[in-house]
Structures are given as structure tokens and as C-alpha cells.
Amino acid sequence: EERSCYLVINVVSSFGFNGWKEYARDFVNTWVQFWPLDVKLRVYYHDCVLPEDAPQALNVEYFNLNEVSEDMVAFKAKFSNAHGKNDKGVYDFRKDAIKFCHKVFAIGHSAKALIDKTDWLVWLDADTLTKEMVSRDDLNAVLPTDGAIVYLGRKGTFLESSFLALNFTDENALDFIADLLDIYKTGELFNYTEWHDGFVIQR
């Protein structure tokens, strides 16, 4: 089936204060170099200003997550102690809801903006490097018409959530996003044994 002319794809990612120099700059630069111009990248930055060297391109758009997501701001204010450190100062990423919430709220903001404007919404972690040209055939191969959600599964209690694709032509994907946001906004995730996005999405 020929789909390359019809599939509308938007990709989402985010980074924080230290993330730009450490990994996100390379992520965006390799995106501009290797991805199709008609696949848009929505980059959310939080707790910082947009770096002066952020590349400007026709297929890249930047958003200040602190300004566009009232839900994220409210979540971080209400659950500010959920940063992964116990009373003794020992860090455990499994309990760091603050660090890993940005992905969820960036997806939520994009989903609302693109609900009737995209076929697929794809999340890529900002420490992802693209090393060769990405073609429409490459994307079609991993975004099946009969799939609601595409993800990287693995053994254990949580999936690899650095790549997550949501099919907006399937109600199951839209319901999934709504449920995921609700789990965060209500604080339901704190009833779970792990509070990071990989575990919550797997569950």
C-alpha cells in the first residue's frame, strides 16, 4: 500500500536546563540534517530559555513547556518532593516523577494541538542521534496502519520509552493519551511501585 504521500507525522521531544549542551543540541542538528522536511519536530524546553544556538529550520518548532502547559506547572508544584531522593538523600530514578513528567505533558500539549492535524504523533528522547537519512519508507515500515501504539518493548517492569508512536486515526491511542495525562494530573501514579514514565506507560 502506498502511503508516503498521505501520512502526516509530527515528532515531539523535550529537554531541560543542562540537556541542551549535553545531548539535545546534537539531537536537533542531526534531525535537521537527516529527516524529511515534511516531518515536523516539536521541541519543548523547560526550566530554561531557548538556547541562542538552537537551529532554525522549516521542520522544527520550539515551545516553552512552562508557558504552554499549566498541567505540568501544577503537577510539579503539587508533587515537588517526588524527585527521586529519599530522606537520606539517596537517589532512585524509579521514584523521580518530576524528571520524567515532562515527556507526558509535552505529548499532552502536542496531542491537543494536533488532534485533527496529524496521523501519527511520535515521541523521541532528546538524546537520540540520527546518523543517516530517514526516508518515508523507513517511517512507514514502523508505523503500521493497523497499530494504535508502537513502542520498544523489553523484559522487566517497564518498557523503553525513548521511542513511542501514537496513531491518531485510532481511538485507542487517543484514549491512551487521555488516560496517561489523567494518571499524572490526579497523582494516581503515586499509587504505583515506580513513578517514572516507562513504568507508567507499561502499566
* Complete DSSP assignment for 160-179: EEEEEEEETTSHHHHHHHHH
Task: Tell me: pLDDT of 201 over 50.
Answer: yes
User: Strand 149-152 to strand 91-96: parallel, antiparallel, or no bridges (unpaired)?
Assistant: unpaired
Helix, strand, coil percentages for the chain (3-state, nearest 5): 40, 20, 40
Task: Tell me: pLDDT of 5 over 80.
Answer: no
Distance separating alpha carbons of residues 12 and 109, to the nearest angstrom: 10
Distance separating alpha carbons of residues 25 and 18, to the nearest angstrom: 11
β-bridge partners, 164: 123, 151
Distance separating alpha carbons of residues 199 and 157, to the nearest angstrom: 6
pLDDT in tens, 71-128: 999 999 999 999 999 888 899 999 999 999 999 999 999 999 999 999 999 999 999 9
The values of phi and psi at residue 8, to 5°, are: -95, 120
Q: What was the pLDDT predicted at 4?
A: 45
Mean pLDDT, the chain, integer: 94
Distance separating alpha carbons of residues 132 and 34, to the nearest angstrom: 6
Task: Tell me: pLDDT of 195 over 60.
Answer: yes
The percent of residues above 70 in pLDDT, for the chain, comes to 97
Q: What was the pLDDT predicted at 154?
A: 87
Task: Tell me: pLDDT of 7 over 90.
Answer: no
Least confident span in 70-79, 108-117, 156-165, 186-195 = 156-165
Q: C-alpha angle 88/89/95, rounded to 5°?
A: 105
pLDDT band at residue 1 using 50, 70 and 90 as cut-offs: very low
Which three three-digit cell numbers place residue 72? 505540568
Contact (CB, 8 A) for 184 and 72: no
Which three-class secondary structure string do you get for 90-138?
A: CEEEEEEHHHHHHHHHHHHHHHHHHCCCCCEEEEECCCCCCCCCCCHHH
Q: What is the pTM of this model?
A: 0.94
Q: What was the pLDDT predicted at 157?
A: 81
pLDDT in tens, 18-55: 999 999 999 999 999 999 999 999 999 999 999 999 99
